[in-house]
Structure 1
Amino acid sequence: MKKTIENLILIFLLFFIINLNLYSFNTGVKKKVAILIYNGVYLLDFCGPLEIFNDTMLDDTSSAFEVYTVSPDENSIKSHTHTLIKPDYTIDNCPQPDILVIPGGNLNLTRDNPEVAKWIVEVEKKSEYVLSVCTGAFILADLGMLNGLEVTTWYGAREKLKKKVPSIKICNDKRFTDNGKIVTTAGVSAGIDGALHLVEKMFGKETALKTAKYIEYENFK
């Protein structure tokens, strides 16, 4: 009897999730994606996922996502390539996202900015997914969000991440890892794979493949 009840609960939850995504599709409600940017951020780390989410279409006229950048304050940030970028929001006025993207760059971001650390923790609680790209995994590690998980990061930093969080399982042969809510990716360009994976989780394989084809990205199958 107990197992039957558990199975019924699982079926109900699956039905609810499917219908929630269908509701978003039918009503034109876009999933919100917040991409954290800051001084020293790696450009492709956040531009790759931004491009994926921005280009994902549910039909010829309906975008699947509303994508915006957010930074610690209203000043323009300077990427590691010295590109100046004006954020859409600050951590003080950013809408609650469904997906939070944490790109790599400054490994001391949350230690140097306790306000940013607090913001990430609060946003994570209400988000559906958190996607770390490249060394963005270190930001999540500092906040205790990777404990016991299967993770990846840029290949040159995996040993360092393992020493930082001994309880994690480092994956050297994956472009991304999926722990349910938290998805981590390998270095830089792997953020594209992680973003496409989330598109697939939320809107199906066909939609993800269409997006990959649109940007002529052949690694995603």
Structure 2
Amino acid sequence: MAELTVGLLLYPAFEVLDMAGPIEVLNVLSVYMGKSLQLYVIAATMEPVSPGPIIPGPSSSFAGQQLYMPTHTLDNAPALDLLIVPGGPGSNNKEALQPLLDFIRNVYRGYQGHPPAKYLFSVCSGSLMFAWAGVLDGQHATTNKSFWTFITSNGPRTHWVAKARWVTSGNIWTTSGVTAGIDGMLALVSSIWGEETAEKVSATIEHNRATQSDDDPWAEKYDCQDVSPVAGGWR
């Protein structure tokens, strides 16, 4: 039996490094540290998912030429210990994402006989999807600092923490922009398997790791301030 079952939720126009950073941490954990992990790549359908617009022919964008294959759909995904949700340009289309938002909420609460996930993990604007799914209501979270105003204004029921590389609130982990997903996943690895294991993974990928959650220069660069929940917020 796997020590950790992992679900990676993909949608059109996701950010590749948001996905690849945390997954590489888990790759090393599995290949070099001998941990038993199981990965499920989940999407709305079994069609390939692209991080960019798919335009047939030589005019296709570089990102649009990349295709990632799901293993499961929202309807047949198995029980998960950890759900990873990357951000990206496609994360701001609430209407199109509604089935995925419902899935996030169900994984958080437990559904179809599955127990609630042990961990929810977002990178960058993936926290916006968490907010829209309702799992950040009353929680503390962070997100990409270059899109701070837009994302925090669309999550009015959340305590948004500006100076944070990652934030843990209960079993929900949210990380800042793009590369912060690597640091956040290493912190999650540390919390599960210990700091020595996290340090070995970090050294294996030669990553200059931020070990403190508030080690974040980007809040100051983008003049981001903490944002408190708005009474009543939207639903």
User: Which of 166, 175, 179 is residue 185 of structure 1 equivalent to?
Assistant: 175
Where 1:39 maps in the other structure, the secondary structure is coil
Match of 2:9 in 1: 36
Q: Structure 2: how far apart are the matches of 1:161 and 1:202?
A: 29
Matches for 1:33-182 after TM superposition, within 5 Å? 33-57=6-30, 62-80=34-52, 81-82=63-64, 83-105=66-88, 106-125=90-109, 126-182=116-172
The structural deviation recorded for 1:122 is 1.3
Is 1:209 equivalent to 2:199 in the alignment? yes
Match of 2:112 in 1: none
Q: Structure 2: how far apart are the matches of 1:161 and 1:110?
A: 12
Whether the 8 Å contact between 1:146 and 1:168 is mirrored in structure 2 is yes
Amino acid in the other structure paired with 2:140: E
Q: CA RMSD in A?
A: 1.9
Q: Which runs of 5+ in 2 are unaligned?
A: 53-62, 110-115, 212-235
Q: Structure 2: how far apart are the matches of 1:141 and 1:79?
A: 22
The structural deviation recorded for 1:117 is 2.3
Q: Structure 2: how far apart are the matches of 1:75 and 1:138?
A: 24
Q: Structure 2: how far apart are the matches of 1:118 and 1:172?
A: 27
Amino acid in the other structure paired with 1:134: C
Q: How many residues align?
A: 193
The structural deviation recorded for 1:110 is 4.9
Q: Residue 110 and residue 34 in structure 1: after superposition, are their counterparts in 2 closer, same or farther (change >3 A)? A: farther
Q: Residue 213 and residue 42 in structure 1: after superposition, are their counterparts in 2 closer, same or farther (change >3 A)? A: same
Whether the 8 Å contact between 1:54 and 1:66 is mirrored in structure 2 is no
Where 1:84 maps in the other structure, the secondary structure is coil
Note the alpha carbon deviations across 1:34-74, whole angstroms, 9 max, x for none: 010111000001111111112114975x2242223111100
The structural deviation recorded for 1:189 is 0.7
Whether the 8 Å contact between 1:162 and 1:170 is mirrored in structure 2 is yes
Amino acid in the other structure paired with 1:120: I
Where 2:39 maps in the other structure, the secondary structure is strand
Where 1:33 maps in the other structure, the secondary structure is strand
Whether the 8 Å contact between 1:57 and 1:211 is mirrored in structure 2 is no
Q: Residue 174 and residue 92 in structure 1: after superposition, are their counterparts in 2 closer, same or farther (change >3 A)? A: same
Amino acid in the other structure paired with 1:91: L
Q: Residue 207 and residue 84 in structure 1: after superposition, are their counterparts in 2 closer, same or farther (change >3 A)? A: same
Note the alpha carbon deviations across 1:98-153, whole angstroms, 9 max, x for none: 00011112224553243322222111221001001000011011111112222111
Q: Structure 2: how far apart are the matches of 1:203 and 1:58?
A: 15
- Which stretch shifts more, 159-168 or 139-148? 159-168
User: Normalization by structure 2: what TM-score?
Assistant: 0.76
Match of 2:57 in 1: none
Identity within the alignment, %: 30
